[in-house]
Amino acid sequence: MKTKLIYTTALCILMLFSFNLRAQNDESKNFWPQWRGPLSTGAAEKGNPPVHFSETQNLKWKIPIPGKGNATPVIWGNKIIVQTAVPTDKKVGTIKEQSKGEQAMSGNQTDLIHEFKVILVNREDGKILWETTVTEEHPQESTHELGSWASNSPCTDGEFIYAYFGSRGIYCLDFNGKIIWKRDFGQMQKKMNFGEGSSPFLYKDRLFIQWDHEGDSFIFALDKHTGKTVWQNPRDEGTSWATPIVVEVNGKPQVITAASSKVRSYDYETGELIWSCTGLTSNVIPDPVYADGILYVMSGYRGNALLAIDIAKAKGDISNSDVILWQYNQDTPYTPSPVLMNGKLYFIRANNGFLTCLNAKTGEVIYSKEKLEGISTLFSSPTGVDNRLYIVAENICLVVNAGNKFEIMASNPLDDNFHASPVIVGNDLILRGFKSLYCFEEK
């Protein structure tokens, strides 16, 4: 009888845990819990933000954000989570001298100690609820002249915030701003001093970090409750900036990473390598996206590459095999990640203002190289919802029809520059600029 009671109690606890986890996962689809949204496709499941807006039209609120950060905010409920790096007036004695080649390709070095902050903002009225400085350090590394020392986006499960600052480490905070745990991975050595940018990926009870640089590269799986390593694997990779994603294949999750040498898939539980393939260019930045059994990986630096992979059949080295369903080798993005929505794949050419749309299943071109008027250069990624895309650059946010016909629905002028990507939750459009955080809503 006692054994039966213990078994029944354990079963009830397990069922309750499974229900809570499922409810949490379902709830996350209503928000923007990590860098590329609830589905990791750059698209919101639902929402109806305004098409027309400006500094005076449909502006719900606008607040200044201290410091500089290109990190895209994340949202849970009515809470917006923002990361930034704020310079202090404290200086270090000397900074590392760069080689001439490195200097020509980078641009930003500092002798100032910075405060690395997590800021919680009320989505309803724009009030800052709290600011927590997770660390105060001098950034040893340089960034690209257009980059920042807070370019990695956070993620959240609605209970805790996981704020990642690359070489500054990852910090778990509660929603009162208290640091629960922290984890340091050391100092990255990024190619040509281009700076950092990969974000953590949260899936169930694990966080995944792609630590690719010019030193020893790894992928880490961390316990989200403690920050301790569940498993880690060395990677024969140089610098990349893509964020890993987790997809379920035949009921089992795989961790997917895109990088210059190889695209790789790891077993979620053990870290064992499941499959890999070559085919991308160098300096991989765009994130993988996945839907309806097909994985899409792409890059666009010194070449163009896009692979559509039948992931259920992938095992071992799949390079140049029939597991790769189709390829497209032009007009792919350098910095921006794509949007996968309603059976269509949208992406920007290089860092330029030209948009391409493909049939995601077949690779058929729906349209290509359509000019985004008013945008010559951009570093943010497009964001999709329903029948439209939001694309933001310096002093402008375009709303583009998402469908078989290219059409600019609206060109909205703004008084800021944007490298962070648009975020959509419900009827709200949140834009993080160099100076300000905006929230737009139809009035």
Considering the domain architecture, whether residues 282 and 161 belong to the same structural domain is answered as no
Cα 157–chain centre separation? 15
Considering the domain architecture, whether residues 89 and 203 belong to the same structural domain is answered as no
Residue 88, domain member (yes or no)? yes
Q: How many residues does the chain have?
A: 443
**Domain final residue, candidates 129, 152, 182:** 182
Secondary structure of the chain in the HEC alphabet?
CHHHHHHHHHHHHHHHHHHHHHHHHHHHCCCECCCCCCCCCCECCCECCCCCCCCCCCEEEEEECCCECCCCCEEECCEEEEEEEEEEEEECCCCCCCCHHHHHHCEECCCEEEEEEEEEEECCCCCEEEEEEEEEECCCCCEECCCCCCCCCCEECCCEEEEECHHHCEEEEECCCCEEEEECCCCCCCHHHCCCCCCCEEECCEEEEEECCCCCEEEEEEECCCCCEEEEEEECCCCCCCCCEEEEECCEEEEEECCCCCEEEEECCCCCEEEEECCCCCCCCCCCEEECCEEEEEECCCCCEEEEEEHHHCCEECCCCCCEEEECCCCCECCCCCEEECCEEEEECECECEEEEEECCCCCEEEEEEECCCCCECCCCCEEECCEEEEEECCEEEEEECCCCCCEEEEEECCCCCCCCCEEEECEEEEECCCEEEEECCC
Give the model's pLDDT for residue 443. 87
Considering the domain architecture, whether residues 163 and 254 belong to the same structural domain is answered as no
Considering the domain architecture, whether residues 173 and 241 belong to the same structural domain is answered as no
Considering the domain architecture, whether residues 124 and 230 belong to the same structural domain is answered as no
Considering the domain architecture, whether residues 250 and 167 belong to the same structural domain is answered as no
pLDDT tens for the chain, 443 residues: list them.
Answer: 544 544 444 444 444 444 444 544 678 899 999 999 999 999 999 999 999 999 999 999 999 999 999 999 999 999 999 999 999 999 987 666 544 444 445 568 899 999 999 999 999 999 999 999 999 999 988 888 788 999 999 999 999 999 999 999 999 999 999 999 999 999 999 988 889 999 999 999 999 999 999 999 999 999 999 999 999 999 999 999 999 999 999 999 999 999 999 999 999 999 999 999 999 999 999 999 999 999 999 999 999 999 999 999 999 999 999 999 999 999 999 999 999 999 999 999 999 999 999 999 999 999 999 999 999 999 999 999 999 999 999 999 999 999 999 999 999 999 999 999 999 999 999 999 999 999 999 98
d(Cα 255, Cα 244) in Å, to the nearest integer?
7
Amino acid at 125: D
**Domain final residue, candidates 296, 329, 362:** 329
Which CATH number is 163's domain given?
A: 2.40.10.480
Is residue 392 a contact partner of residue 421, using CB atoms and an 8 Å limit?
Answer: yes
Residue 436, domain member (yes or no)? no
Neighbours of 35 (CB within 10 A): 29
Residue 84, domain member (yes or no)? yes
Residue 299, domain member (yes or no)? yes
Residue 381: Cβ-neighbour burial (10 angstroms; 0-12, 13-18, 19+)? buried
Considering the domain architecture, whether residues 283 and 240 belong to the same structural domain is answered as yes
Considering the domain architecture, whether residues 209 and 177 belong to the same structural domain is answered as no
Residue 265, domain member (yes or no)? yes
Question: To the nearest 10°, the Cα dihedral for 115, 120, 126, 129?
Answer: -100
Residue 382, domain member (yes or no)? no
Considering the domain architecture, whether residues 269 and 309 belong to the same structural domain is answered as yes
Which CATH number is 296's domain given?
A: 2.40.128.630
Widest pairwise Cα distance in the chain: 77
Considering the domain architecture, whether residues 272 and 221 belong to the same structural domain is answered as yes
**Domain final residue, candidates 158, 182, 206:** 182
Give the model's pLDDT for residue 94. 65
Residue 25, domain member (yes or no)? no
Considering the domain architecture, whether residues 214 and 178 belong to the same structural domain is answered as no
Q: First vs last Cα of the chain: how many Å apart?
A: 63
Considering the domain architecture, whether residues 207 and 321 belong to the same structural domain is answered as yes
Residue 351, domain member (yes or no)? no
The total domain count for the chain is 2
Which residue range is the domain that position 298 belongs to? 198-329
